[in-house]
Amino acid sequence: MLTYRLLKNHAGLLLTGDYQTLRALHEVIHNVNERSPLVLNTEGAFLGLAYDVRKAYEGQRRKVKPPDGYPEIGPRFGVEILWPVLLWQSRVLRASMGFIDTSKHMQANAYALEAVIQDGLKEDFGAALGESVIFEWERIDPAHPFPEEALQSRTPLFCSWTKAQRKAGIVGLIASFSPMYSTLYPIWLRNGATGLVSPQEFKNWENAECPDPKW
């Protein structure tokens, strides 16, 4: 089964699983990548999730030993993924399944990934803030090209933030995946919203290299 460990500084998740579980998830992502009408660039950021999962089960990322006294659990494998990237990738996976025929096997793998993400968000940011992040995450619309383009600025900005900045800004950053964000930002600001990120700040980080996320 899929499990997780939180990364340091609110950076994201170490997504973990046994070989067979990760191999199955990899196959589902590849299947969706090839068939989804929402994935216009089949070599793009969504396929990066399959790449990360494959590197994990091949033992090229993180190896997790079984707990002391429980050798029967066997080895597990993991890969670190930043919150903004993982939230967008998982939304592409879920939304794509509404446009293609899927099996119960495929749905089970998608739900398992989403369950890990939900639990991780609540543990990392607390129940109330975690629910707010989940609300914005589920509003991401992968049918629009803007969210994928937005990753080019949101990811390096997120990496540059401190732990405190990530906690304060995570909701606003995920909300900014909306193509209407630049229009809505001044309205929300006038209405007293907090934790928002200026559209100009995102522009300053477009296509920048990602700093060390200190995870």
- Phi and psi of 115, rounded to 5°? -65, -40
Q: How many residues does the chain have?
A: 215
Provide the Cα torsion 119, 29, 62, 64; round to 10°. 60
- Phi and psi of 20, rounded to 5°? -65, -40
Please work out, in degrees rounded to the nearest 5, the angle formed at the alpha carbon of residue 190 by the alpha carbons of 189 and 194.
35
Query: Which residues are CB-contacts of 195 (< 8 A; sequence separation ≥ 6)?
Result: 168, 169, 170, 171, 172
CA dist 139 to 56, 91, 117, 129, 134, Å? 29, 9, 15, 16, 9
Rounded-to-integer distance, Cα 2 and Cα 15, Å: 7
Asked whether residue 50 carries a pLDDT value surpassing 90, the answer given is yes
Q: Are residues 44 and 103 in the same domain?
A: yes
Residue 11 in any domain: the answer is yes
Q: What percent of the chain has pLDDT over 70?
A: 100
Report, as an integer, the average pLDDT of 141-157: 96
Residue 210 in any domain: the answer is no
Task: Indicate the residue among 137, 165, 183 that finishes a domain.
Answer: 137
Task: Indicate the residue among 137, 155, 186 that finishes a domain.
Answer: 137
> Residue 34 forms beta bridges with which residues?
none
Q: Are residues 109 and 172 in the same domain?
A: no
Question: Which pLDDT belongs to residue 32?
Answer: 98
Residue 181 in any domain: the answer is yes
Question: Which pLDDT belongs to residue 71?
Answer: 85
Q: Are residues 26 and 128 in the same domain?
A: yes
Report, as an integer, the average pLDDT of 130-144: 97
Number of structural domains the chain divides into: 2
Q: Are residues 89 and 25 in the same domain?
A: yes
Grouping H, G, I as helix, E, B as strand and the rest as coil, residue 135 is helix
Q: Are residues 74 and 165 in the same domain?
A: no
The domain in which residue 27 lies consists of 3-137
Question: Which pLDDT belongs to residue 67?
Answer: 81
Q: Are residues 127 and 159 in the same domain?
A: no
Could you count the other beta carbons within 10 Å of the beta carbon of residue 46?
A: 25
Residue 212 in any domain: the answer is no
- pLDDT band at residue 40 using 50, 70 and 90 as cut-offs: very high
Q: Are residues 154 and 48 in the same domain?
A: no
Residue 112 in any domain: the answer is yes
Task: Indicate the residue among 115, 137, 159 that finishes a domain.
Answer: 137
Question: Which pLDDT belongs to residue 70?
Answer: 85
- Phi and psi of 63, rounded to 5°? -105, 135
Q: Are residues 13 and 34 in the same domain?
A: yes
Question: Which pLDDT belongs to residue 63?
Answer: 94
pTM assigned to the model = 0.95
